[in-house]
Structure 1
Amino acid sequence: MRRGFLSMATLKSETITTPRPLKIVLIAGEDSGDLLGASLMQAIQKQSNRPVEFHGLGGAKMVAKGLQPFFPIDGLNLLGLVEIVGSLWMVKKKLNQAVDAIFQADPDVVVTIDLPGFNKRLAKKLQAAQIKAPLIHYVAPTVWAWRPSRAQKFKKLFDKILCLYPFEEPYFNDENTQQAVFTGHPLVFSAEIGVAERFHKKHKTDSSHDLVALLPGSRKNEVERLLPVYKEVVLYLQQKKPNISVVIPVVAHLKDKIQKEVCAWPVPVYIVAEEGRSDAYAACAVALAASGTVALELARAKLPMIIAYKVSWLTAVIARRLLKIKFACLLNILAGKEIVPEFLQERCVPETIALKLLGLIESQKQRDGQIKNTQESLTLLKGDNHYASERAAQEVLKLC
């Protein structure tokens, strides 16, 4: 009897002291946000002294880490002012669905990741509905690039803002408030280094060919606008240097579309899934890429690159009136000068780009010089040398 009594008492005690799971809502809407979200989830699970439940919106990487998705994120990764305006009805519908799902989840904290247009509207709706959970935004909006006044509006919507770049904190902090924290950029701390020989063996490449990586973006409208330009670049390049092959790392939702577009190209084309990106970078001589986080990824792999990018003409006209920066590539912005060649909008001319790529392929001095400069820019993103996701997780858990 006494043994049974003690066992029941012990069981009752354990039941009472078992901590309630920590509920965290994460909202990410594109591939770069999915990568950040997955790293953040892993770091939170490592640091939390309570079980953690993740709910919200995210891609395959976040789902693999345990995210319970509210609904598919298709359509949230819009780019360009014109494209966004044309899909406002869809955005409004997704916003309302997300607000309802967040209140149903009853989280301890809500973390929105990048996607500033959608997430700013989401935060407004959550505030208006008097949500109790603190709101954190991960990846500060680019107020340093255009409309700095947006910083004040963001400060009113979020309890904390986590910044990837060292020059962002002053836009959100002042003598009275210290809402912004520079965490560093997770890509800089990536330990994955590719193996060129593994790529060549898997794809049976021609050893006499130089491999050129093409990265036309992770959004459907980017690929539709840039891939035809990149094709013309390849054709011009082939005239000057016949022994080239093309490597295109793709995100899953664009693989079929890109394969269909390139199947008739007159050069060998290797389509590479997510898990093969690092080996592909190691095997390539140069890269032609869209503007964005991919530039940091290529720099981390020490792959020399050229940036070629264009948006719709109306978006470009509006952007020119609003933008306050000289460069589009993050590496150039960090360096304060053009260390990576940029060909934007009307300068996105295939023949000119092809000649620049050819010079980069044939000059070891140019390649080495760019690699040296990009490594210096990457160093600026390391913060206090703690892993960026670990630092971000610390800030999230402080508000739980």
Structure 2
Amino acid sequence: MKVFLVATEESGDRLGASLMQALREKLGDSVEFRGVGGYEMAAQGLPSLFRIDDLAIVGLAGITQALPKILARIRQTARAALDEKPDVMVIIDSPDFTHRVARRVRKKNRAIPIVNYVSPSVWAWRPGRARAMSHYIDHVLALLPFEPDVHQKLGGPACTYVGHPLIEQIGELRPGPEEAGRRTSGTPLLLVLPGSRKNEIRRLIEPFGRTIERIAKTVWPIDIVIPTTPHLQDLVLRETARWPLRPKIVVKREDRRAAFRAARAALAKSGTVTLELGLSGVPMITAYKVAPWEAAIARRLIRVPSVILTNLVLGENVVPEFIQTDCTPDRLCAALAPLLADSPERKRQIEAFARLDGIMEIGRAQPAMRAAEIVEEVATKSRQRVP
């Protein structure tokens, strides 16, 4: 079986590498990989067409400037897929890139089945994409449990919940007895998560710092930990140098996981990290800020009652969110302080997070293997249709 994969971001690269490993476990040496991926997929044996680093673009302005390069890479990737004539093509996340590749391939060769790993957020904005996808996507592998129903209602392609990759990391995220005790006694540990992109950090670090200053006046002593990545460490150090309470900055995976297991509460940028915190059982408040013109566009497009993944999976707005003008130190402090104490607000979040196991099929779902089974099934059905 020849599998052509397309992943252009780090998160997609990790998913692609896990899928490759699962396919190899199922099929042994009879599976062959081609396409585009990052370092982790390369470690699994993918000879990538090009380095994905030059596609790491943030914001609409950045996309506009890099558009000629992006379009050239889309054409290059589609041509390669058509030349390879794979048994199945798997596009992974990054819909602005990968779906353009998929549409080009489907237009030129309808015999190549296409699987989409990670559904675009059709439940949040541009719901018409679901029906459009049905013309060039054969199957969607969903990370969130509500997505199959959404695609069915919107007229999208076949969609199966395979499980979020965080499911496979539960043992690292949840505290043992000693760490659980730290959460409720001794000096409270507050996680601060200002984002994984430079623009996010620069917009949030100032209100987050002023919030910490106010919190420290009412909750003392307190420990602050900021998990980040090595390439952002210097930026975080510079931006927090003026904080009255200096945080501990950690970059190693094991240190990040240890902080999640010991944290009493978190102040976080909205995003995937909110689901990570929910699965860890860490009460949180969330915030986000973008440029005013970007916020104006988002307000017209977004169609969900919350932008917090944990809230969407639970089906209720348990986690407070403070977006744009609501992201002020006074409001953040007022919502965060109760989570550091034995309060009704803290109890409500913890009880809600306990429901995530059943909703996300933790203990039953094996995301990479489920995904591999569907990829193999789609490829096999396609081969059987060929005369």
User: In the superposition, relative to structure 1, how do residues 292 and 54 fare at CA in structure 2: closer, same or farther (>3 Å)?
Assistant: farther
Alignment correspondent of 1:185:
164
Query: 1:294 and 2:291 equivalent?
Result: no
Q: Report the CA distance between 1:94 and its aligned residue.
A: 2.8
User: In the superposition, relative to structure 1, how do residues 114 and 209 fare at CA in structure 2: closer, same or farther (>3 Å)?
Assistant: same
**What letter matches 2:209 in structure 1?**
K
8 A Cα contact 2:137 2:157, kept in partner: no
Alignment correspondent of 1:381:
360
8 A Cα contact 1:48 1:397, kept in partner: no
Deviations 1:326-374 (A, max 9, x none): 1011121223321111111211112211232222112255334312202
1:318-397 residue pairs with structure 2 within 5 A?
A: 318-363=297-342, 365-382=344-361, 385-397=364-376
SS at 2:322's partner residue? strand
Residue-pair matches, total: 373
Cα separation, 2, equivalents of 1:358 and 1:112: 43
Alignment correspondent of 1:222:
200
Please report the RMSD computed on the Cα atoms of aligned residues, expressed in angstroms: 3.1
1:1-400 residue pairs with structure 2 within 5 A?
A: 22-78=1-57, 80-81=59-60, 83-103=62-82, 105-130=84-109, 132-173=111-152, 179-193=158-172, 209-266=187-244, 267-363=246-342, 365-382=344-361, 385-400=364-379
Cα separation, 2, equivalents of 1:185 and 1:398: 20
Q: Which has the higher helix share?
A: 2
Cα separation, 2, equivalents of 1:226 and 1:129: 45
8 A Cα contact 2:285 2:320, kept in partner: yes
**What letter matches 2:211 in structure 1?**
V
Q: Report the CA distance between 1:32 and its aligned residue.
A: 3.0
**What letter matches 1:214 in structure 2?**
V
User: In the superposition, relative to structure 1, how do residues 270 and 210 fare at CA in structure 2: closer, same or farther (>3 Å)?
Assistant: farther
Structure 1 residues 31-40 or 277-286, which shifts more? 31-40
8 A Cα contact 1:196 1:280, kept in partner: no
Question: In terms of Rg, which structure is larger?
Answer: 1
TM-score under structure 1 normalisation?
A: 0.82
Cα separation, 2, equivalents of 1:242 and 1:384: 38
Cα separation, 1, equivalents of 2:107 and 2:231: 35
Q: Report the CA distance between 1:53 and its aligned residue.
A: 3.5
Consecutive unaligned residues of structure 2, counting only runs of 5 or more, are 180-184, 380-387
Structure 1 residues 108-117 or 256-265, which shifts more? 256-265
Consecutive unaligned residues of structure 1, counting only runs of 5 or more, are 1-21, 201-206
Q: Report the CA distance between 1:124 and its aligned residue.
A: 2.0
User: In the superposition, relative to structure 1, how do residues 130 and 223 fare at CA in structure 2: closer, same or farther (>3 Å)?
Assistant: farther
User: In the superposition, relative to structure 1, how do residues 372 and 78 fare at CA in structure 2: closer, same or farther (>3 Å)?
Assistant: farther
8 A Cα contact 1:259 1:271, kept in partner: no
Percent identity reads 37
Q: Report the CA distance between 1:56 and its aligned residue.
A: 3.2
SS at 1:325's partner residue? coil
Cα separation, 2, equivalents of 1:177 and 1:342: 30
